[in-house]
Amino acid sequence: MDWLFFGEISLAGLAMGGLYALIGLGFVIIYKATRVINFAIGEIMMFAAYLFLAFAGGMEMSPWVALPLAVLGGSLLGGVIEKIMIRPMLGESSISVVMVTIGIASILVGVVEMIWGADPQLLPSFLPRKPVFIGEMYLAPKIAYGFLIGAALLIVYLLYFRFSRGGVALRATASDQAAAYSMGINVRRVFNLAWVFGSLAASLAGVLVAATGGLSPQFGAIGLSVLVVVIVGGLDSIVGALIAGVFIGWLETVAGAYLGGEYRMPATFAVLAVILVFRPYGLFGTHEIERV
């Protein structure tokens, strides 16, 4: 076995996994606060990446202006979706709400294709191109720097949710909506903010992933990988999303490199199937007590 090759593949996979962890975090934020499983998260990522393409490519802005604008656009989209399509579903069965997010995903794919066409496109490159070596192992610079930016946001998020007022409100709402409401927390606002913050994380990851692999209206399928991440980690566990994100990213890349691209999805979904059978609430998720 060629250990150097394995090391390089693993490194690329782990870096990719870091971005999965970020998207997973966005997903978990939304789920924890609102109990909505967001099947449209991949499409929100895609939308932000196309915004970046429009700003940096079409309008020829500096990528460092376009990136925050695109991420902002993606998070606004999340907020708007929550306000006009998710809020009316408050109190409906979780299955109905999930289906609404599936519908939203379909709308976003159509809109993107309508505006930017169906053909795959490349994002203008904006990350440093100097090869990165860790020891002897080579890591593609796009992936390395993408990982660093993603990791930075991830750390900011973790600190924010641990220490800020907003973070406390979010965690309070997650653990008991009624109690949070009676303590004067504006639960509706928390719901909205959760969507905004969750979409923000997803949007940044969306631009970074698209920068390494290109962009097309099918890009949202990455949402399926994210789904695997959050189920394996546990839907309501931030730690779970981080660990599972890194692991699934690594597994996908290694399976793709050694077995072929067609094995990427089956490999991760096999892990998912095992988890569903043996630890249905994920590695770190909480299992709620059922009542009659």
Contact footprint for another protein (CB under 8 A): 37, 85, 88-89, 92-96, 98-100, 102-114, 117-118, 217, 224, 227, 231, 262, 265-266, 269, 272-273, 276-277, 280-281, 289-292
- Comparing CB distances to another protein, the nearer of 102 and 122 is 102
Place of tokens 């043996």: 278
As a whole number of angstroms, the distance between CA 192 and CA 185 comes to 13
Positive or negative, the CA dihedral 94, 99, 100, 104 is positive
- Residues 248, 13, 218, 71, Cα dihedral to 10°: 100
Residue closest to 225 by CA, chosen among 27, 36, 51, 29: 27
- Comparing CB distances to another protein, the nearer of 4 and 274 is 274
- Comparing CB distances to another protein, the nearer of 98 and 151 is 98
- Comparing CB distances to another protein, the nearer of 35 and 171 is 35
Q: What is the DSSP letter of 118?
A: S
Q: How far is the CB of 96 from another protein (least distance, A)?
A: 5
Strand partners, 134: 137
Q: How far is the CB of 121 from another protein (least distance, A)?
A: 15
Burial of 10 (0-12, 13-18, 19+ CB in 10 A): middle
Widest distance between CA atoms in the chain: 61
Strand partners, 215: 121
- Comparing CB distances to another protein, the nearer of 194 and 232 is 232
Q: How far is the CB of 280 from another protein (least distance, A)?
A: 4
Radius of gyration, CA atoms only, the chain: 19
Q: How far is the CB of 62 from another protein (least distance, A)?
A: 30
- Comparing CB distances to another protein, the nearer of 90 and 122 is 90
Q: How far is the CB of 65 from another protein (least distance, A)?
A: 28
Q: How far is the CB of 45 from another protein (least distance, A)?
A: 17
